[in-house]
């Protein structure tokens, strides 16, 4: 089985806490699902299996970031808002990538890390489905990775935004649930098989 990296995108206080500057209501729906996913990965790692890795993506802006020309000030590097929520806090040995743009690949070392680790498949989770998740997935494809989206591990500010994001992601990734993903992996199957929309059927 090829090696996978599960990216947890922006599950930070400013997005996933009700007091956050860009609170995304959908995070409450996916946090328990991601906790279950974390448990599965960490148990595998504890057994000496390193074929799935958790990679925590952390938005960490400078105070006068260009992003704030179009969005509220949020996730300033070193502040509470940019820190991970306690329910999904990274553990020692799990890689953290800081970003200042929507995509976790844009001017970060994510691609270098993935290539050093011989990872071929990128699995996206986190917020927002239609913004940072989609942007990261698109850049993963552009960098020739296989891409999987976990539909119950991503969300947006509204259900509508989330569903529209999933439609877009279904064009070029494999959209599946966390249980479908882990079940396929445990059976030695490639969860990515059937990805995308090769017959142009997505509407």
Q: For residues 33 and 86, is the Cβ–Cβ distance under 8 A?
A: no
Residues 6+ positions from 203 with CB-CB distance below 8 Å: none
Chain segment 134-150, per-residue pLDDT in tens: 999 999 999 999 999 99
Which pLDDT belongs to residue 2?
A: 80
Structural domains present in the chain = 4-187 (3.40.50.850)
Average pLDDT of the residues in 114-129: 97
Consecutive H or E run containing 169: helix 159-170
CA 104 to chain centre: 9
141-176 in b/e burial notation, b at 16+ Cβ within 10 A? beeebbbbbbbbbbbbbeeebbeebbebbbebbbbb
Nearest to 138 by CA among 114, 104, 162: 104
Whole-angstrom Cα distance, residue 188 to residue 91?
26
> What is the residue-averaged pLDDT of the chain?
96
Which pLDDT belongs to residue 1?
A: 62
């Amino acid at each position: 089985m090829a090696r996978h990296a599960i990216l947890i995108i922006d599950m930070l206080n400013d997005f996933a806490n009700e007091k956050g500057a860009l609170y995304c209501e959908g995070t409450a729906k996916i946090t328990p699902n991601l906790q279950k996913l974390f448990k599965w990965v960490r148990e595998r790692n504890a057994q000496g299996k390193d074929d799935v890795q958790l990679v925590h993506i952390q938005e960490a802006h400078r105070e006068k970031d260009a992003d704030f020309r179009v969005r509220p000030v949020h996730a300033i590097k070193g502040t509470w808002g940019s820190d991970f929520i306690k329910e999904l806090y990274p553990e020692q040995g799990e890689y953290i990538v800081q970003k200042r743009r929507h995509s976790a690949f844009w001017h970060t070392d994510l691609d270098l890390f993935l290539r050093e680790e011989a990872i071929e498949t990128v699995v996206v989770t986190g917020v927002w489905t239609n913004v940072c998740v989609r942007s990261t997935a698109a850049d993963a494809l552009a960098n020739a990775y296989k891409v999987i989206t976990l539909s119950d591990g991503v969300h947006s500010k509204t259900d509508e935004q989330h569903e529209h994001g999933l439609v877009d992601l279904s064009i070029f990734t494999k959209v599946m649930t966390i249980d479908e993903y882990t079940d396929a992996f445990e059976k030695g199957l490639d969860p990515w098989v059937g990805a995308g929309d090769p017959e142009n059927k997505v509407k």
